[in-house]
A and B are shown apart, each in its own frame.
Chain A
Amino acid sequence: MTFDAEFFNIGYLDNLSYKDTFVHRLDPRVKLLVSFIFIMFVVSFPKYDLSGLIPFFIYPVFLLTAGDIPLRAIAKKVLFVSPFALFVGIFNPLLDTDVLLTLFGIPISGGWISFLSIIVKFILTVSTALLLIAATSFLGLCEALERLKLPRIFVIQLLFLYRYLFVLLEETFRMLRAKDARSFGKRGSEIKTFIRLISILLVRTVERAERIYQAMLSRGFRGEIKVLKRHRLRFQDLVFVVSSIGLFYLFRNYNIVHILGEVVERSLR
């Protein structure tokens, strides 16, 4: 059942984010910013540029290894997500058949290159997003968003959602188990049943929200939630920002792959 898989996945990534490594200790704002800039650099490559993207693997690899995050957890996720990008990309080889280059006598069309470039971009951006959350606790990210001046109510909303996500998922799981125990074979997944299930879940959710509100009131809630500031910008944060952005800039403007390849080839001759 995919339900378990999804459920444990959130929990798993959440657990990873409580490790204590160099990457985990960096200010969440810094990680968010650098990751976003990284993605901007990656997607700024034109569609036929494949080689220029390769050096960019260094950033996810850095987060992965320095953050002590198991490769399998990330790789599995990356392999299974977003059929949409693949669906859109797969038409490129069919529609763009102009030969762009020949490798060992095999002609390679522009479509295949742009398709591969979509795949590489996809792997880079998706793994970075996952690694970001695996290397930063969700609370840390919310703190970062708040300090980056996003509206407070949005941040509070995120915190609430995250806090009650696990609770509601468990509740849903109980309801589904009860439903499964009462239905055989394919029965029990009709739209009518589904509407009832969702409705009951909705009513229970609203009632839970009312209880939460009462509980908050009795603890002195006055429409304001303070987000704890736990991080300060330190020297190593600055070093991280400057060096990684500098590196991205270098990779973007000089095709390292190309330069290295030519040097090697010349020395081979």
Chain B
Amino acid sequence: MHMADALLSPAVGGTFWAGTLGAIAYAAKKLRENLDDRFIPLMGVLGAFIFAGQMINFTIPGTGSSGHIGGGMLLAILLGPYAAFLVIASVLTIQALFFADGGLLALGANIWNLGIYPCFIAYPLIYRFIVRNRNTPSRITIASILSVVFGLELGALSVVLQTKISGITELPFGTFVIVMLPIHLAIGVVEGFITAGVVNYVRTLRPDIIEHVEGVKALSSSVSMKKIVIVFAIFTVLAGGIFSWFASTYPDGLEWSIEKIYGKAEIPERQTPVSEILSETQKKTAILPDYSLPSAGKGEEKPSWPSVDTITSLSGLLGGIMVLAVVVIFGIGIKVIRKLRRT
């Protein structure tokens, strides 16, 4: 369920990076306020633990296929929301860099989807609410399953929204949601069951691991409830803002591009490259043009709508091959220079 760069628009990717950076700064500030020194190595090593734990596979009952844990809620239970969020963020960062899971731009969205929802929404609102101070195995089991499912579903919904708002996919919103939510419901139940199993089993081996952290959190989470409501509110406003922006620009962009297509189709002659360059320069005064804008302005392929020229597409193909050739020659050139220098 990792988002990928290729599915994001710069506006959506940037927005979620901003949100994620804010959350990281907030969590770091919160941690600094009442941080036990022991937490620093513990957090780091637990991050490595999540990584290593994901290498162990198990058979998913009834299907025969295998899966691994995500571990977000487990971290939240062990470390509390703030530390867990930072650990999740760092695990995802390393995954983005070394495994290219998602990518650098999508990393912001991924941290948001897999970190914010379990740590700041599902954990305090569901897990803590159900467990409170009575750590019975059955309570832990129910709380884990419900909170993991809730966190994952929010994340999945968020993935759908991000993809949809970015406008890259043609998948209708409804279908997308209908595909994503049940899959993540199933994943969530299994993950929740495992999380509960681990927490309960570790409690029998080393109760202090769970209890110690529980104690720390009981304190911090009572304070943070208000903050969580605030985070929730900010998120709602943010989502609402993006949504309305999307709702207002998307049809416009579409209409505009259609208009462009027909407008150009009426013009009998193609523009010369020079006049094109000139008109392009006029449009491109903004550093990073708005996403929907250049789709109509830039789409040189688009005007070659059915009836008219194969010429533009042929020149596109020729040009493409040439540019690729230049890139390859460039690469080979650098290699040759490097070799010459070495000898």
A105-B45 CB under 8 A given contacts A51-B316, A195-B198, A264-B315: no
Nearest-CB distance from A65 to chain B (Å)? 4
**For residue A121, which residues in chain B have a CB less than 8 angstroms away from its CB?**
5-6
Q: Kindly state the separation between the CA atoms of A34 and B66 in the bound complex, as whole angstroms.
A: 39
When the two chains form the complex, which single residue of A96, A201, A221, A261 contacts B52, counting CB atoms closer than 8 Å?
Answer: A201
Contact at B331–A65, with CB atoms within 8 Å? yes
**For residue A129, which residues in chain B have a CB less than 8 angstroms away from its CB?**
5, 96-97, 100, 103-104
Nearest-CB distance from B137 to chain A (Å)? 13
Q: Kindly state the separation between the CA atoms of A3 and B318 in the bound complex, as whole angstroms.
A: 44
B153 on the A face (CB < 8 A)? no
A150 on the B face (CB < 8 A)? yes
Q: Kindly state the separation between the CA atoms of A262 and B38 in the bound complex, as whole angstroms.
A: 66
Q: Which residues of A from 2 to 53 have beta carbons under 8 Å from B?
A: 2-3, 6-7, 9-10, 13, 21, 35-36, 39-52
Contact at B89–A44, with CB atoms within 8 Å? no
**For residue B55, which residues in chain A have a CB less than 8 angstroms away from its CB?**
2-3, 6-7, 169, 172, 176
Contact at B52–A102, with CB atoms within 8 Å? no
Question: What is the interface of chain B mostly: helix, strand, loop, or mixed?
Answer: helix
A262-B319 CB under 8 A given contacts A154-B89, A255-B298: yes
Which residue of B21, B52, B97, B201 has the most chain A CB atoms within 10 A of its CB atom?
Answer: B52
When the two chains form the complex, which single residue of B14, B97, B324, B338 contacts A133, counting CB atoms closer than 8 Å?
Answer: B97
A238 on the B face (CB < 8 A)? no
Q: Kindly state the separation between the CA atoms of A114 and B301 in the bound complex, as whole angstroms.
A: 12
**For residue B334, which residues in chain A have a CB less than 8 angstroms away from its CB?**
62, 65-66
Contact at A43–B5, with CB atoms within 8 Å? yes
B13 on the A face (CB < 8 A)? yes
Q: Which residues of B from 292 to 309 have beta carbons under 8 Å from A?
A: 292, 294-295, 298-302, 304-306
Q: Kindly state the separation between the CA atoms of A256 and B316 in the bound complex, as whole angstroms.
A: 10
Nearest-CB distance from B37 to chain A (Å)? 5
**For residue B19, which residues in chain A have a CB less than 8 angstroms away from its CB?**
none
Nearest-CB distance from A267 to chain B (Å)? 11
**For residue A252, which residues in chain B have a CB less than 8 angstroms away from its CB?**
284, 288-289
Chain A 45-71: CB-based contact to B (< 8 A → 1; otherwise 0): 111111110110110011011101000
Q: Kindly state the separation between the CA atoms of A65 and B167 in the bound complex, as whole angstroms.
A: 34
Contact at B51–A169, with CB atoms within 8 Å? yes
Contact at B104–A195, with CB atoms within 8 Å? no
Chain A 64-104: CB-based contact to B (< 8 A → 1; otherwise 0): 11101000000001100110110011011011100111111
A55-B7 CB under 8 A given contacts A40-B14, A88-B163, A161-B44: no
Nearest-CB distance from A48 to chain B (Å)? 6
A126 on the B face (CB < 8 A)? yes
Contact at A51–B319, with CB atoms within 8 Å? yes
Chain A 104-124: CB-based contact to B (< 8 A → 1; otherwise 0): 110110010110001101100
Contact at A68–B338, with CB atoms within 8 Å? yes
Contact at A258–B168, with CB atoms within 8 Å? no
When the two chains form the complex, which single residue of B69, B171, B315 contacts A88, counting CB atoms closer than 8 Å?
Answer: B171
Q: Kindly state the separation between the CA atoms of A105 and B309 in the bound complex, as whole angstroms.
A: 10
A260-B40 CB under 8 A given contacts A40-B105, A203-B202: no
Contact at B318–A264, with CB atoms within 8 Å? yes
Contact at A163–B57, with CB atoms within 8 Å? no
A161-B57 CB under 8 A given contacts A62-B334, A82-B102, A262-B319: no
Contact at A213–B38, with CB atoms within 8 Å? yes
Q: Kindly state the separation between the CA atoms of A13 and B310 in the bound complex, as whole angstroms.
A: 45
Contact at A48–B48, with CB atoms within 8 Å? no
Contact at A253–B5, with CB atoms within 8 Å? no
**For residue A195, which residues in chain B have a CB less than 8 angstroms away from its CB?**
194, 197-198, 201
**For residue B45, which residues in chain A have a CB less than 8 angstroms away from its CB?**
160-161, 164, 168, 205-206, 208-209, 212
Contact at A43–B56, with CB atoms within 8 Å? no
A157-B47 CB under 8 A given contacts A47-B295, A125-B5: yes
B226 on the A face (CB < 8 A)? no
Can you name the residue of chain A whose Cβ is closest to the Cβ of B194? A195
Q: Kindly state the separation between the CA atoms of A45 and B38 in the bound complex, as whole angstroms.
A: 47
Q: Which residues of B from 59 to 79 have beta carbons under 8 Å from A?
A: 59, 61, 66, 69, 78
B91 on the A face (CB < 8 A)? yes
Contact at B205–A199, with CB atoms within 8 Å? yes
Contact at B198–A126, with CB atoms within 8 Å? no
A84-B4 CB under 8 A given contacts A43-B10, A133-B97, A191-B193: yes
A189-B57 CB under 8 A given contacts A44-B288, A132-B97, A195-B198: yes
When the two chains form the complex, which single residue of A190, A203, A254 contacts B58, counting CB atoms closer than 8 Å?
Answer: A190
Q: Which residues of A from 129 to 187 have beta carbons under 8 Å from B?
A: 129-130, 132-133, 138, 141, 150-154, 156-165, 167-169, 171-172, 176, 186
Which A-B residue pairs are the 4 nearest by beta carbons?
A160-B44, A261-B319, A46-B295, A151-B28
A-B contact pairs, 30 of them (CB 8 A): A43-B13, A44-B294, A46-B298, A46-B299, A48-B301, A49-B298, A65-B330, A68-B338, A82-B4, A84-B2, A89-B6, A91-B171, A96-B170, A105-B310, A118-B6, A121-B6, A126-B103, A127-B100, A130-B97, A133-B97, A133-B98, A153-B86, A158-B93, A172-B53, A189-B57, A191-B193, A213-B40, A257-B320, A262-B315, A265-B318
Kindly list 9 other residue pairs between chains A and B, CB separation below 8 angstroms, not including A46-B298, A210-B38.
A40-B288, A50-B320, A57-B324, A84-B7, A101-B301, A104-B310, A198-B198, A225-B40, A255-B298
